[in-house]
């Protein structure tokens, strides 16, 4: 299995989430020696399991939010800054208040309300061309402040 990322569940010791390239999300439960997978359309570029135990799958054209226990799709989030041009999420971070933030390829920074899944595009002060900005990584400190790592085009 070609995997980009493997990380252990925050809530279930011995359960591992695996970001499977070109497939979606896999879960391996060491205590049960069980392996399950959820396939999605498009390439999954990043997986984040939030504090509510929902898996956020970054993929071409948007985001799938999945229950990692049942693999039931909770929601597909349309991540589009410009009509008809879907954005590609590259990375997620969750702030202490539960807000999800998505860094994108060529579309900048998006804030996603965890209850309504409403997307708000954020303009970063001093960045000249934010609609072309590639956000590689995000970090949220314990107070909820974001550190944004971009390619410098914005």
Q: For 118-132, how does the pLDDT look when each residue is reduced to its tens digit (9 = 90+)?
A: 999 888 776 666 666
Tokens describing residue 121: 């595009």
* pLDDT band at residue 135 under the 50/70/90 scheme: confident
> Does 118 or 21 have the greater pLDDT score?
118
Q: Do 57 and 48 contact (CB within 8 A), yes or no?
A: no
Handedness of CA 37, 40, 42, 44 (dihedral sign): negative
- Say whether pLDDT at 62 is over 90: no
The structure's pTM equals 0.83
- pLDDT (tens digit, 9 = 90+) per residue, 106-122? 888 899 999 999 999 88
Handedness of CA 96, 81, 89, 137 (dihedral sign): negative
- pLDDT (tens digit, 9 = 90+) per residue, 35-45? 888 777 777 88
Mean pLDDT, range 124-151, rounded to an integer: 80
pLDDT at residue 95, as a whole number:
94
């Amino acid at each position: 299995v070609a995997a980009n990322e493997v990380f252990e569940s925050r809530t279930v010791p011995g359960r591992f989430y695996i970001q499977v390239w070109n497939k979606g999300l896999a879960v391996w439960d060491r205590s049960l020696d069980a392996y399950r997978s959820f396939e999605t359309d498009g390439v999954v570029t990043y997986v984040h399991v939030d504090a509510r135990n929902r898996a956020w799958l970054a993929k071409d054209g948007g985001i799938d939010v999945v229950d990692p226990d049942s693999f039931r799709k909770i929601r597909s989030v349309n991540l589009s800054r410009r009509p008809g041009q879907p954005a590609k999420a590259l990375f997620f971070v969750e702030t202490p208040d539960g807000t999800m933030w998505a860094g994108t390829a060529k579309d900048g920074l998006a804030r996603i309300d965890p209850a309504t899944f409403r997307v708000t595009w954020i303009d970063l002060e001093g960045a000249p061309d934010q609609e072309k900005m590639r956000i590689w990584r995000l970090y949220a400190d314990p107070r909820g402040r974001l550190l944004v790592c971009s390619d410098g085009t914005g």
